[in-house]
Structure 1
Amino acid sequence: MQHDPYLPISLNLKDRACLVLGGGPIALAKLRPLVEAGSTVLLAAHNPIKEIADLLDNNKVIQASLPFGSRDFEGILLAIDSGEEPAHSQSLRSLAKTNNILLNTVDQPEFCDYFTPAVVRRGPLKIAFSTGGAAPALARNLRQKLERLLPHRLGELVESARKWRPEVQRRLSPTAQKEFWNRLFADTSLQNICDEGTHIDDCIEHLISSQSTSVEAKGKVWLVGAGSGNADTITLQALKLLEAADVVLHDALLDPTLLEYARRDARLIAVGKRCGKASTTQTFINKSLANFAEQGHRVVRLKCGDPFIFGRGGEELKYLQARQVPVEVVAGVTTAAQAAAEELVPLTYRGKARRITFMTGATSKSLPEDRPQWKALLDGGTVAIYMARLGLQENMDSMIEAGLAPDMPAMLVAGLGSSERVSIKATISTLAIQSANVPNHLPTLVLVGDALAECASQNEFAPCPAESSSLRQWA
């Protein structure tokens, strides 16, 4: 990667002299931030547009002479060339270099000593995006996205924080101060505090009082569905909670990219369960969630898919309720929905399927073995089988034995969201044979039902001979 010589800094321009060359709309866009910053702005232009002329008339901008003279540059900190007076650009570059003045030339990065970033402003809070002149449009797009995300009253909150800081230091211990500021600016409370009609000072006073009077601040647990597949499937609500968490207990099959959104000082604990491999016990997970919350931490239990669809979220919720630990559940995109979307196969379809059954291929040892009523489930329905490798052949055979057509569409998706992802579209009579070479370590889902083939291309779910058992993969 090429060395970047540009240092991001914020300059105090109050009463400092800055020069702008040009009198058109580009110059106007560059003038306004300088005027707002309290700079003494000199404008060099022959025929400035009306908006700039108004600034000159109101003495907010001072007219400079053209052509330039060497004395025109005395005391100037930085200069901007809008490109609207091209006959004088070379002179400006030469004199700026001679007088050690920082120069920005619009759309000509080779003649720039500095770049003006795209800025999001919320009072004293300023967030700047710069690409070093390489892609200004990207910086603008990022600014626009952040503008939509940040509350408009965030600047008021920052000003209030400045005002209340001495009071916080007086009333709270150093440890309590850190917790107070974390709580004040946590995503889970930030939007509420910045809502219109909310008295920010009252919220801060209440937060200080609750922090100073609580002997043991009780934390909270969020059971969060991370979605299925890659990190893009997590919901915005779940992502905000992950970013604010003190402790994250996460599944082993999660996209590692997700964990990069956690705070650097957050504690990350892997509590994965893998069939046939050493796994973290559910008892350990339950106790850890409660213990961390009772120590005052914000705890996120980050799960693949949805917490309440084969995610053991119900057991965790029941345990936390018994210990009177505050808990919320955040839904996630379950594997069946994500796989169907990626493969363009509907799970319901008018006249074909009006219900969906979620089930597992494995049966808990604590329950008696059951034999699904396949005919009842699949007549006018779709079945999604999670952890489907165990007993796949037996399940497909029993569907046919139950009277279902051997050519009923069936699809297997293994390793959803990973680089090893495998997808096989077949029928209940051929799926087990065609999937024989799928790696055993990949988590596997099977979908069965007539609705799957409604939007498929011709012969996509057609039966294949046993000898043609090569995998069909969709990356």
Structure 2
Amino acid sequence: MDYLPLFLNVRERLCLVVGGGAVAARKVILLHRAGAIVKIVALKLHEQLQELAQRGVITVQQTAFSDIEIKDYYLVIAATDDKILNTQVYQMAKVHGVLVNVVDQPSLCNFILPAIIDRSPIIIAVSSGGASPVLARLLRARLETLIPHAYARLAQFAARYRNRVKQQIKAVRARRIFWEQVLQGSIAERVLAGQEMEAEKALEEALSVNSAPSQGEVYLVGAGPGDPDLLTFRALRLMQQVDVVLYDRLVSAEILDLVRREAERIYVGKKRAWHVVRQEQISTMLVEYAKEGKRVLRLKGGDPFIFGRGGEEIASLAAEKIPFQVVPGITAASGCACYGGIPLTHRDYAHTCIFVTGQLKEGQLNLNWQSLIQPQQTVVVYMGLAGLGLLCQQLIAHGMSSSMPAALVQQGTTPQQRIFTGTLATLPRMVMNEKIHAPTLIIIGKVVALHSQLAWFHTSQESSCK
């Protein structure tokens, strides 16, 4: 280990930064956030530093460094492109026993500044010891995705209750176990979700019996349209801490692989005219698993509140007083349109967008046709492949032009994505010729004509039929 990791308290300490460029500005901002009294020595100032000086946040001395009494400072940072000056700063600081850092010159440092993940009061530092600052920043970026900003709230919550818990639970081991249960269970999840009043009530109840609550919780998570990179940070965090997952047919294998390895996996997928588990059974399973004290993940393709029956499931949970969280996902309309280079709205083509389901019921489509044929509008049809012929026929019969551009996006956002463009008149024939299968999204409107110009996602197959 080349360096001893330490966290330095510079609050109300006098710190000096030599240099006035963009690099110096970043160091000044960091010191200011940590509560230091910052002084700058530089002949010219970056505009960011000028603004800070005008606000009185920092003081500036526009003179040569040799005029500075370096022994008066707690630490010094040299951030200039003058190697001779940087060496002079280091040597003077070393003589006076002052902490010194010369940016990008590890040999002229007796301390280094790591890449920082700030979730105050939680601070995480990543350092390569000066060997590769870029690698340290890349590692920090990866950790940023795994540690939500809400962990700051959780740390503050724990700090507020630290003495209270210590007084209530005297034994050190019992107190440690209590905090482990709290910080990994439903109380922590409520804090992270911004439900601090509910979390405080639950903690008080837990303290009354010296035990964290054993009741489980349900996470209703939108998995997006297929690409794992489209998951939210919150979705990923919850997926990695569950005991059991109930997942749909539209959840890709790559996304399912991100669920905690030890979690029990239960397939509850549906497709047209075939249901593995009926909706009522799914809702019952969520309640029963949660009552067993398990953390239950209900993983749905797309967004759970857009044609995902999420409302029905949380109604069952609410009736049984089961704690739950809902995490939105990118719905298929947004994901498929984006990856297909088809903007759902465009000032020259579409001012509104409407989502509908195209499922057949007894061979019929019961839609508000008049609302679908409005000018400058994009129509997105979910689950409409089986009734595509009837859909196109009825839109034309109710006044939409048979030459209206339309697209089919099969398995959108995934490497297997296929896009087929045509018109209302040609699309049904294309389905028969190209062997298109679900999941496929239908996009109808003049914006589809932009696909050839704007598509950026390399699909395995594209076809058009005019």
Give the shorter-chain TM-score range: 0.5 to 0.7
Query: Contact conserved, 1:129 with 1:142, CA < 8 A, in 2?
Result: no
Distance 1:375 1:122 in 2: 51
> Deviations for 1:196-241, whole angstroms, at most 9, x for unmatched residues?
xx9x9x8896264256378x64333232323334234445654555
Q: Quick one: which of 415, 432, 449 aligns to 1:456?
A: 449
The corresponding residue for 1:10 is 5
1:320 equivalent in alignment to 2:317: yes
Query: Contact conserved, 1:83 with 1:106, CA < 8 A, in 2?
Result: no
With over 3 angstroms needed to count, the CA separation of the structure-2 counterparts of 1:81 and 1:297, relative to structure 1, is same
Distance 2:211 2:110 in 1: 54
Distance 1:11 1:265 in 2: 35
Distance 2:451 2:184 in 1: 57
Which one-letter code corresponds to 1:408 in the other structure?
M
Distance 2:86 2:304 in 1: 66
> Deviations for 1:302-328, whole angstroms, at most 9, x for unmatched residues?
211222333232442344345443445
Which one-letter code corresponds to 1:472 in the other structure?
S
Q: Quick one: which of 167, 181, 184 aligns to 1:182?
A: 184
1:432 equivalent in alignment to 2:428: yes
- SS of the residue 2:221 aligns to: strand
Distance 2:363 2:302 in 1: 26
Q: Which one is further off, 169-178 or 387-396?
A: 169-178
Distance 2:328 2:304 in 1: 7
Distance 2:359 2:294 in 1: 37
- Matched ranges for 1:354-365 at <5 A: 356-363=354-361
Q: Which one is further off, 330-339 or 234-243?
A: 234-243
Which one-letter code corresponds to 1:387 in the other structure?
M
Cα offset for 1:274?
5.1
- Matched ranges for 1:83-162 at <5 A: 106-107=103-104, 116-120=113-117, 125-130=122-127, 132-135=131-134, 138=137, 142=141, 149=149
Cα offset for 1:393?
3.4
With over 3 angstroms needed to count, the CA separation of the structure-2 counterparts of 1:419 and 1:259, relative to structure 1, is same
1:281 equivalent in alignment to 2:277: yes
Cα offset for 1:244?
5.8
Q: TM-score, normalised by structure 1?
A: 0.62
Distance 1:88 1:308 in 2: 58
With over 3 angstroms needed to count, the CA separation of the structure-2 counterparts of 1:301 and 1:308, relative to structure 1, is same
Query: Contact conserved, 2:247 with 2:300, CA < 8 A, in 1?
Result: yes
Query: Contact conserved, 2:407 with 2:448, CA < 8 A, in 1?
Result: no
Cα offset for 1:335?
1.6
With over 3 angstroms needed to count, the CA separation of the structure-2 counterparts of 1:127 and 1:164, relative to structure 1, is farther
The corresponding residue for 2:44 is none
Query: Contact conserved, 1:184 with 1:207, CA < 8 A, in 2?
Result: no
- Matched ranges for 1:6-405 at <5 A: 10=5, 53=69, 56-57=71-72, 60=74, 106-107=103-104, 116-120=113-117, 125-130=122-127, 132-135=131-134, 138=137, 142=141, 149=149, 170=170, 177-183=179-185, 186-190=188-192, 192=194, 206=204, 208-209=206-207, 212=210, 217-235=214-232, 238-239=235-236, 241-242=238-239, 245-255=242-252, 258=255, 264=260, 267=263, 269-273=265-269, 275=271, 280-282=276-278, 283-342=280-339, 343-346=341-344, 356-363=354-361, 368-372=362-366, 376-380=370-374, 382-400=378-396, 404-405=400-401
Query: Contact conserved, 1:246 with 1:265, CA < 8 A, in 2?
Result: no
With over 3 angstroms needed to count, the CA separation of the structure-2 counterparts of 1:160 and 1:406, relative to structure 1, is closer
Cα offset for 1:418?
0.7
Cα offset for 1:189?
0.3
Cα offset for 1:355?
6.7
Query: Contact conserved, 1:348 with 1:382, CA < 8 A, in 2?
Result: no
- SS of the residue 1:456 aligns to: helix
Cα offset for 1:453?
0.9
Query: Contact conserved, 1:125 with 1:158, CA < 8 A, in 2?
Result: no
Which one-letter code corresponds to 2:463 in the other structure?
R
Which one-letter code corresponds to 1:251 in the other structure?
D
Which one-letter code corresponds to 2:5 in the other structure?
S
Which one-letter code corresponds to 2:134 in the other structure?
A
Query: Contact conserved, 2:289 with 2:296, CA < 8 A, in 1?
Result: yes
Distance 1:300 1:108 in 2: 49
Cα offset for 1:273?
1.8
> Deviations for 1:8-51, whole angstroms, at most 9, x for unmatched residues?
9635999xxxxxxx97787x969x99xx9xxxxxxxxxx8567x
- SS of the residue 1:292 aligns to: helix
Equivalent pairs: percent with the same residue? 26
Which one-letter code corresponds to 2:342 in the other structure?
L
Query: Contact conserved, 1:117 with 1:139, CA < 8 A, in 2?
Result: no
Cα offset for 1:404?
4.5
Cα offset for 1:301?
1.3
The corresponding residue for 2:419 is 423
With over 3 angstroms needed to count, the CA separation of the structure-2 counterparts of 1:122 and 1:227, relative to structure 1, is closer
The corresponding residue for 2:443 is 447
Distance 1:130 1:386 in 2: 48
Query: Contact conserved, 2:165 with 2:207, CA < 8 A, in 1?
Result: no
Query: Contact conserved, 2:344 with 2:378, CA < 8 A, in 1?
Result: no
> Deviations for 1:331-367, whole angstroms, at most 9, x for unmatched residues?
433222433344334369899776725113444xxxx
Which one-letter code corresponds to 1:273 in the other structure?
G
With over 3 angstroms needed to count, the CA separation of the structure-2 counterparts of 1:49 and 1:227, relative to structure 1, is farther
Query: Contact conserved, 2:404 with 2:424, CA < 8 A, in 1?
Result: yes
Distance 2:319 2:267 in 1: 22
- SS of the residue 1:385 aligns to: strand
Query: Contact conserved, 1:109 with 1:133, CA < 8 A, in 2?
Result: no
Over the aligned positions, Cα root-mean-square deviation in angstroms equals 5.6
Distance 2:351 2:8 in 1: 67
Q: TM-score, normalised by structure 2?
A: 0.62
Gaps of 5+ in 2: 10-16, 35-63, 91-99, 454-460
Cα offset for 1:175?
6.5
Distance 1:126 1:458 in 2: 45
